[in-house]
Amino acid sequence: MKKKILLIGGAFAVLLGLVVVKRVQNPKANATYVIGILQTASHPALDAARDGFKEELKNILGDKVDFVVQNAEGSVVQAQTIAHKFKANQQFNAFFAIATPAAQAISAIEKEKPIFIAAVTDPHAVGLITPTTNVCGTKDMIDVKAGIDMLTQLVPQVKTVGLLYTSGETNSLILVKQMRQELEARGLIALDYAVSGESDIPVVVELACRKADVILAPTDNTVASGISLITSITNKYKKPLIVSDNMLVAFGALAARGVDYKESGKQAARIAQQVLVDGKKPYELPIEQAKSEQIVVNETTLHNLGLTIPAQLKNTVTMINK
């Protein structure tokens, strides 16, 4: 009797799992194009890239396109699991990968269907682009020199800069290397403060605040996910935090000169149109640079730090309040 109950229970669990999968992954029946979206993690920048992509493709294709969104919630293993499920499901015409771990996970196993990307810092450096690649889209490489120009203009007395980043994020390592070179070329001291995950943030950020005049972060998924905790510490120590994602300034960082992620998602959607509708091959399309011209400053943080906007920046700064 017990065995029979277990068998019935197991069958019910399998049936329930199938129902859940169908509910999550069943697109509209009249959709011509079904796109699987694999998002690395949940934070404002990646959410904006996702929303921009969906909105723009809906504007272009209307009811002909539908999406299945899956989020790895910061787990590389989970991203790989989702990628395998996407690969095995024949309903998909293409995929949209948001941030480097998602792009690496899906491109490692899907070599034929188009993969569109956004929020990837250097697609070439992480091996996504080959002569016959099925990957195209946008990259979020920031202008490191211009960003450090902004830092030294906002905090002219700076001597030591703490670089806050995740040790396991390839895109972060690429940018940190460039930041370190640029800082040292200006005679500034660059100190590394690497975290392996969000649990490291309190100890590492506190240490950075004790040793550095300014904290500088590249585009980094762990930093973005833990931004509220990070700014609670940097603002307690009254240390300027410069980030590379404009959307994080609203959470208390001092400033950023970074990418408009919603626009980068829209750019990726327009590239997707060229592939899905116009018949272009991904390898025929260059990876486009997302826009990164806007400087955003948190007015509340600026005031609390006793800083002012220098004359050379006044015409280029957008002020926001925390």
Pair 280, 216 in one domain = no
Helical H segments across 239-286, by residue range:
261-276
Q: With bands split at pLDDT 50, 70 and 90, how would you rate the model's confidence at 294?
A: confident
Tokens representing 321?
């309040």
Residues 167-192 have a mean pLDDT of 96
Percent of the chain with pLDDT over 70: 89
Query: What are residue 314's phi and psi, to 5 degrees?
Result: -55, -35
Question: pLDDT tens digits for 91-143?
Answer: 999 999 999 999 999 999 999 999 999 999 999 999 999 999 999 999 999 99
Amino acid 72: pLDDT:
96
Task: Give the 3-state secondary structure of residue 277.
Answer: coil
CB 92 within 8 A of CB 34: yes
Same domain, 161 and 281: no
Are 225 and 122 found together in one domain? Answer: no
Mean pLDDT score of the chain: 90
Helical pair 44-61 and 261-276, crossing angle rounded to 10 deg: 40
Q: How far is CA 173 from the centre of its chain?
A: 14
pLDDT interval class at 11 (50, 70, 90): very low
Quick one: 276 and 310 in the same domain?
no
Residue 314 banded pLDDT, cuts 50, 70, 90: confident
In terms of domains, do 67 and 86 share one?
yes
> CA distances (Å), 226 to each of 197, 223, 252, 288, 303, in order?
9, 5, 12, 28, 23
Among the ranges given (19-23, 119-123, 210-214), the one the predictor scored with the smallest mean pLDDT: 19-23
If you average pLDDT over residues 301-314, what whole number do you get?
94
CA distances from 130 to 59, 107, 112, 225, 268 (A): 31, 11, 13, 31, 19
Residues 84 and 66 in one domain: yes
313: containing domain: 144-258+293-320
The answer to whether the beta carbons of residues 249 and 196 sit under 8 Å apart is no
Q: Please indicate, yes or no, whether residues 7 and 135 belong to a single structural domain of this protein.
A: yes
Is 115 within 8 Å of 93 (Cβ atoms)? no
9 and 37 assigned to the same domain: yes
CATH number at residue 207: 3.40.50.2300
Note whether 148 and 59 are same-domain residues.
no
Output the pTM of the full model: 0.81
pLDDT of residue 195: 97
Summarize the confidence of residues 47-54 as an average pLDDT.
Answer: 97
Check whether residue 116 and residue 195 sit in a common domain: no
62: exposed, middle or buried (C-beta count within 10 Å: 0-12, 13-18, 19+)?
exposed
Packing angle, helices 170-185 and 144-154, rounded to 10? 60
Q: Kindly report the backbone phi and psi dihedral angles of residue 316, in degrees, each rounded to the nearest multiple of 5, phi listed first.
A: -120, 0
User: In this predicted structure, what is the pLDDT of residue 8?
Assistant: 42
Confidence of residue 30 (pLDDT cuts 50, 70, 90): low
Provide the domain count of the chain: 2
- Are 37 and 67 in the same domain? yes
Q: How does pLDDT run across 225-241, given as a tens digit for each residue?
A: 999 999 999 999 999 99
